[in-house]
Amino acid sequence: MTEKTAQQQAAPVPSDHIMGVYQRAPLAFERGEGARLYATDGEAYLDCMAGIAVNALGHANPKLVQALTDQAHKLWHTSNIFTIPGQETLATMLTEATFADVVFFGNSGAEAIECAIKTARKHHWANGNPERIDIIGFEGSFHGRTLAAVNASGNASYLEGFGPKMPGFLQLPFDDLDAIKAAVGETTAAIILEPVQGEGGARAWTDATLRAIRQLCDETGTLLIYDEIQCGLGRTGRLFAYEWLEGAADPDIMAVAKALGGGFPVGACLATARAANGMTPGSHGSTYGGNPLAMAVGIAAVEELVKPELLAHVREVAGYFNQQFAGLQDRFPDVIVDIRGKGLLIGVKLATSNREFMQHARDEHLLIAGGGENCVRLLPPLNLTFDEAREAIGKFERACETARSKAKAAA
Ligand SMILES: *Cc1c(COP(=O)(O)O)cnc(C)c1O
């Protein structure tokens, strides 16, 4: 091993020994605080992607750091064959705050989805309908990268090369109620959707369609699964995005992760007792799921995320962003095609390459995420200050100017 030089630290080179599944930016960070990230070369960046909606309470949040370190000195892991007090606490918090009666803890979003799908199928099996296995998903959805999750989303580029598409999964166009009504039948187990799509380009389902889907599910015994891994836990300005419908379209099962650990890996599958009736001892499990470290951080995170002041703040900052992005769209119609999303899950559909735009933003020391349909997404920490929001808009505007001048030069 050669010693690391200062120069290597300044410009990290992607390793040959990491499986090449990501197209990585040559940028590494060594420290973060709130919405600020500090790169290995000491440069500061304004983080408006928050680890893709994970660091919802900012980097190195003192309450989360405290919860994690306190727990680290006591106990890291036992086993799910024992009672884990933190699970009882966090499950109580989550069920009291939602439609759900029971929770299964895993380590990631994909695992929460896996549990949701298994719970749905097992429900029908337990009720004497083993033929009801079909999971209806939607174009533009993203549910994670396990085989079941990529089959549920149906995105061809995520399925290619991994063998035949699994039976029992079908996809329909986004927000098309007629297509859903036509597809639900005797073998349908569940409908799975993100109330606000994340990776797919920050598209929000219309309230009317969600209400109609709920009604259709009630009429046909179909279970409704929400994937609120990205749009949940305060991101849209309510604790969960489905709450905007005021009880008219609650799910039966819901997958949660990302912000739940604020950066510590944890996921959860929430369900009503009725939907989870097939999940009996032995039907599912996880070695690490719900371990004491994850639960300590999850409890501390949820204590913050449920606070009405925080949710009100999200709505206010989101309102500011909405107004500012509308202004930017007016001034840069050649760059910005559409503004979408909900709350602080903001999608900006671009006329120019979103990959290049992310680089222009990085040049301004603003970090934003990509997304489907040539979008970039802003997913800042929920406690982003108004000063930081103004700074983000200033940087975004300069990135628009760069994109415009590049487009002009190319023309
Ligand atoms: C990130 C994400 C997932 C997958 O979560 P992982 O923790 O990466 O497995 C699933 N669904 C949605 C909506 C997501 O945003």
Catalytic-role residue among 142, 264, 332, 396: 142
User: Cα–Cα distance between 406 and 121 in angstroms, integer?
Assistant: 51
Q: Is 16 a catalytic residue?
A: no
Q: What is the pLDDT of residue 1?
A: 37
Identify the segments of the chain with pLDDT beneath 50. Answer: 1-8
Best substitution site from 21, 138, 226, 229 to test ligand 1's pocket, by max atoms within 8 Å of Cβ?
229
The answer to whether residues 224 and 253 touch, using CB atoms and an 8 Å cutoff, is yes
Quick: pLDDT tens for 159-206.
999 999 999 999 999 999 999 999 999 999 999 999 999 999 999 999
DSSP 129-173: -TT--EEEEETT----SSHHHHHHH--HHHHTTSSSPPTTEEEE-
Per the annotation, the verdict on 227 as an active-site residue is: yes
Q: Whose CA is nearest to atom 5 of ligand 1?
A: 109
Point out the ligand 1 atom lying closest to the alpha carbon of residue 257: 7
Q: Which residue has the tokens 């029971």?
A: 102
Q: What tens digit of pLDDT does each residue of 251-293 get?
A: 999 999 999 999 999 999 999 999 999 999 999 999 999 999 9
Tell which residue, 207, 251, 219, 225, has the closest CA to residue 137.
225
Q: Which of 143, 153, 254, 379 to mutate to test the pocket of ligand 1 (most atoms within 8 A of CB)?
A: 143
From the CA of 272, how far away is ligand 1's center (Å)?
22
Q: What residue's CA is closest to ligand 1, atom 3?
A: 144
Within 10 Å of residue 211's Cβ, how many Cβ atoms? 14
* pTM for this predicted structure: 0.96
- State whether residue 38 is helix, strand or coil: strand
Catalytic residue (one of 47, 227, 250, 252): 227
- What pLDDT, on the 0 to 100 scale, is given for residue 270? 99
CA angle 104, 108, 114 (to 5 degrees): 60
Give the pocket of ligand 1 (CB within 6 Å). Answer: 108-110, 113, 142-144, 194, 198, 227, 229-230, 257-258
Distance 254 CA to ligand 1 centre (A): 12
Please tell me the CATH superfamily of domain 6-60+309-410, with its number: Aspartate Aminotransferase, domain 1 (3.90.1150.10)
Most informative mutation of 49, 107, 147, 258 for ligand 1 (most atoms within 8 A of CB): 258
Distance (Å, rounded) from C-alpha 54 to C-alpha 35? 12
Domain boundaries, the chain: 6-60+309-410, 75-305
- Output the CA 263–ligand 1 centroid distance in Å: 13
> To 10 degrees, what angle do helices 292-305 and 62-72 make?
160
CA 313 to ligand 1 center in whole angstroms: 25
Residue 386 annotated in active site? no
In the CATH scheme, what architecture does the domain 75-305 have?
A: 3-Layer(aba) Sandwich (3.40)
At 183 the pLDDT is: 98
